Structure formats: C-alpha cells, structure tokens
Structure 1
Amino acid sequence: MAEKDKSALIIEDPTVEQTKLRRRAIVGQIILGALLIVFWELFSRIGWLDSYYWSSPSTIVRTGWTAIVHGNLLQDLAYTSGSTIIGFILGTAAGYLLGLTFWWSDLYSRIFEPYLIAFNAVPKLALAPVLVIMFGIGFDSKVVLAFLMTIIVAAIAAYSGVENVDKDLEKMLVSLGAKRHHVFMKVVVPTTIPWIVSILKINISLALAGTIVGEFISSRQGIGRMILYAGQVLDIDLVWVGVVVLSILSIVMYLGTVWLEHVLMKGRTPKS
C-alpha cells in the first residue's frame, strides 16, 4: 500500500510533469521544423511554390556553403552577432542600473518617470539614419542602435521591480539599524532581478532588430548588408540564406538568454 502511495506521489510530482512536458515540446518543435523543411523542398520541386521567389532548402544550403567558402558569410555573421551582443549587454545593464536609481529618491523618480515613458514611445529605429551619420557606417553605430533599443525596456522593468519592493521589509530593516545601502543591496537588488530577467528574451530580439536596421541603412559588413546587396542584384537565393542565418542566430541568442535566466534565477524558485 505504501509503495502504491509513493508511486502515485511520484507520478503527480509537478517537477516530473514539467520535465516530461518540456521534452515533448522539444520533440514537437523538431518534428514541426523538419516537416516544414520537407514540404518546402517538396512543393518547390513539384512547382507548387515558385522556386525563384521562395527558393528551396537544398538551394539555400548550397548557396550558403558557397557564401562560406568563397564569400564573407562567417565574417558577416560575426559582425552582426558581435554588435548585437555588445549592444544587448550594455543596454540591459545600463537600463537596469538606471531603473535602480529611482529607488533612492521619490522626487527624482517622479521627475524622470514621464521622460522615461516618453522616450520609450519614440521609435528608436527612426533615429537610425542620424545615428549612422553621427557614429559612422562601422561597428559603433550598430552597437549604439542595439543599445538604444534595449536600455529603456530594461530601465522600465527595473523601475517596476523597484515599485514592488516590500515596504514593510524595508521599514523593519531600518528599524533594526540597517543603513540605506544595506537595504538596497539586500532587498531592492534581489527583488528587481526577476523583473530584469523577464525581459531578456525581448531585449535580445530588439538588439538584433536594431543591428539589422543599422546594417540595412549603411554598412560594410553584416548579414543585413548581405541581404540588402543580394536584393539589389536580384540574388533571391542569397537573400534566403541571410534570412535563414538570421533565424538560426535569433534561436541561438534566445537559447542563450534562457540559459542566462536559469543562471540568474538559480536558487530563487522554491523547491517542491
């Protein structure tokens, strides 16, 4: 009887169920992706999809390999990845620190909050031509664009976390003799970390979008520049290579943020 109860408890364990669900989801994602590739190739071969406009997976692979061996695909990939990651790290870190500053003064936060919201509403990509003129067509302008795309989102997330800090806990620590910087480090920072972690996936996508737009406007390197060039010379297969490479890059960066979330949140979730 005890063994049956134990096995029932194991079956109902939410951690085990979540693990099974995650594995099924991964298998389902792989199967769906494989089916899309197979049907894309099949429909292109039998003429249901115009291969000039839609290309085909096999053609994309051949064109991509040619771009690696005889072109600059790997250098372009490194250029786009580097500017995206640097802009993402700088923008997210700076935004987080900016959001934390609102905890120190209610007057300061009330003065700057509307400007923060207003700047968030400004379409940062519309400033891309100005930024390219200011910082040049090189690496710096792409990093700045990625930085601007992420800093305000991170600042608003951190500010939301600051507003949700437990006021009673703050008062209790102060009454026990804790200094203001002790409360900041022991209460405010830990409270806001989940808020900033929650926007990492959004920010990496915004950073990549900012980088690509910068490369579209003017650049000597990058996947965006490659796609723009391929479109100008009507090399549709190379355009699709760029699109596929960007898709793979976005997936890799997304998985990287998932790993980073796991690292930052490790030990914060209660054990069942």
Structure 2
Amino acid sequence: MRGETENVVVQKHATFEKNKAIQKEDPFIEDEELKERRTNRLSVLGRVMVGVLLVVAWELFTRIGILDSYYWSSPTTIVQTGITSITEGTLIQDLFYTSGATVLGFILGTFIGSLLGLSFWWSDLYSNIAEPYIVAFNAIPKLALAPVLVIMFGIGFSSKVVLAFLMTVIVTAVAAHSGVKSVDKDLEKMLFSLGAKRKQVFSKVVVPSAMPWIVSSLKINIALALAGTIVGEFISSRYGIGRMILYAGQIMDTDLVWLGVVVLSMLSILMYLGTVWLEKLLLRGQVTQK
C-alpha cells in the first residue's frame, strides 16, 4: 500500500513537471486559472474604459451643442447638483429610503418564496392544487396593483416594501419549485429504502438540489425589487429616489432628474454586484458541504 502511494505521488510530480516544461517551451499554453484572472481584469478594464468614453462624449456633445444641455444636462452639472443635494442632506436620505425598502422587500420575498417553493415537495396533492394559482399570480403584472397597495398600506415605507416583496416572492417560489422537480426520484427512493426519514431527505437532498435554482433568481429579484420600490415612490411617497425624479420632472429641473437616473443606475449596479457575491458565497458553501 505504501509503495502504491509513493508511485502515485511520483507520477503526479512527473506530470506537473512535464506540464511546466511544456508551458516554458510553448508560450501560448498557459494555466487556466491565470487565463481566467487575466480575462476578468481585461473585462473590468474594458467596462471602465467604455463608461469613461461615454461620459466624456456626453460632456463634449453638450458643450459643443450636439446635445441640448437643457434636456440632456451634462456630467459636470449633474455632479454639481449631486454635491448640492448631498450638502443639503436630501440625496442621502432618499438613497437610504429607496435602498432600504428594496433590500428589505428582496430579503423577505426571497426567503418566503424559497419556503413556498420548497414546501411543494412535501405533498403532491398540495403541489398540484397550488401550482396553477402560483402560475396565475405570476402572470399578473404586480405593478398594476401598486395604486391599491399604496391605498392599503399608506404612502410610507411599508407600501414600498410590500411592492418589492410581491415583485420577488413568486419568482423565487417558481425557481424553488423547479429545483424541487429536478431532484432525482431514484435517489429519493433509495434513501427511503435505506431507512432515511423525510426530514433527512429534505435537508440533505431536496434543499441542496434546489439551492442553485434559488440562487439563480437573485440577480433577477434584486432588479425587480428596485423597480417595485421606484414605482411605489412614483405613485405616492415622501422620500426616495423615485419621488425625487418625479418632483424634479414636475418643476422642470432636468439636472435633478438626471441626477436621480444616475444614482439609480449606480445603485442597481451595486445591488447586482452584491447578489453576484452572495451567489458565489452560497454556491461555494454548498460545494464545501459536499
């Protein structure tokens, strides 16, 4: 046994040295991990360069008159408007209001939607009865319910959270249900035949199988949650980026409108990156458990 282990170690070392020698001889052969890192760096650099070019072109076109600065504003004017809003404290307040309602609705919708979708595994009868209603509710444009929800929950923070919640809960439930359907039935039967309890099969097989489906919905959910919050602020709200944009449009302040649009764009990017990080964290933890 000891001799076999030593032979395996020697073979692996020889293979490593051989690959290393080949890479030295052929400069076009490189490690996959290094290649992926270089690609990621170039991708980030490319995105930054494209963004900078767009901003520079925007500023240049407004200065030379190709774009009407009254309608399109300009990056420098938007920055000045942003500094003024930050100094007055209104922008920070609106930003925290919008992001808070979005994140809270996103968390509640993802959590409850996951529980709802996973619960379909426990009973085929329950799943068959509930599934058509889930599909029907998913087909309803939730934003059309926004005026009713604002009337029910008021113009405060609660109505924005409810809108963000409704935008995400069904999407997550459908994703979790799809994950439950993907579970290997033969594996379930084998575990039951070996004496496994339903709770054990659920926690050890069903949940891990559905997790990639749930995680894949996070990127979509965060965008839907933000859209729901903004629509709620458009209808009626005291605070929020959506309210700021609506108010700026009413008083014909295009600089403030564009400031709101830029802030929303940056907020959506940050939230998207947050879900990407969360996705990697959850899937990495699942791999570690395996």
Q: TM-score range by the shorter chain?
A: over 0.9
3-state DSSP of counterpart to 2:118? helix
Query: Which residue in 1 is equivalent to 2:190?
Result: 172
Question: Which residue number corresponds to residue 118 of structure 1?
Answer: 136
The residue that corresponds to 2:170 in the other structure is 152
Provide structure 2 residue ranges, at least 5 long, that are not aligned to the other structure. Answer: 1-16
2:142 equivalent to 1:128: no
The secondary structure found in structure 1 opposite 2:183 is coil
> Is the Cα–Cα contact under 8 Å of residues 179 and 213 in structure 2 kept in the other structure?
yes
Mapping 1:1-272, distance limit 5 Å:
2=18, 3-5=20-22, 7=24, 11-268=29-286
State percent identity of aligned pairs.
Answer: 69
Larger-gyration structure (1/2)? 2
TM-score normalised to the size of structure 1? 0.96
Give the TM-score taking structure 2 as reference length. 0.90
| Whole-angstrom CA distance in 2 between matches of 1:181 and 1:10 | 52
Q: Which stretch of structure 1 is more off in the superposition, 64-73 or 152-161?
A: 64-73
Following the alignment from structure 1 to structure 2, what is the Cα–Cα distance between the partners of residues 18 and 102?
Answer: 39
The 1-side partners of 2:189 and 2:266 are apart by 49
For structure 1, the 5+ residue unaligned runs are none
2: CA distance, partners of 1:191 / 1:61: 47
Once the 2 structures are TM-superposed, how far is the Cα of residue 16 of structure 1 from its aligned partner? 2.8
Instruction: Report how many aligned residue pairs link the two structures.
Output: 270
Compared CA separation, residues 167 and 256, structure 1 to 2 (3 A)? same
Structure 1's 269 and 186: CA in aligned 2 closer, same or farther, altered over 3 A? closer
Q: Where does residue 7 of structure 2 map in the other structure?
A: none
Please report the RMSD computed on the Cα atoms of aligned residues, expressed in angstroms: 1.7
Deviations 1:35-80 (A, max 9, x none): 0000000001000111000000000000011111125110000000
CA distance in 2, matches of 1:54, 1:239: 10
TM-fit CA distance, 1:269: 5.6
Question: How many angstroms does 1:166 deviate by?
Answer: 1.1
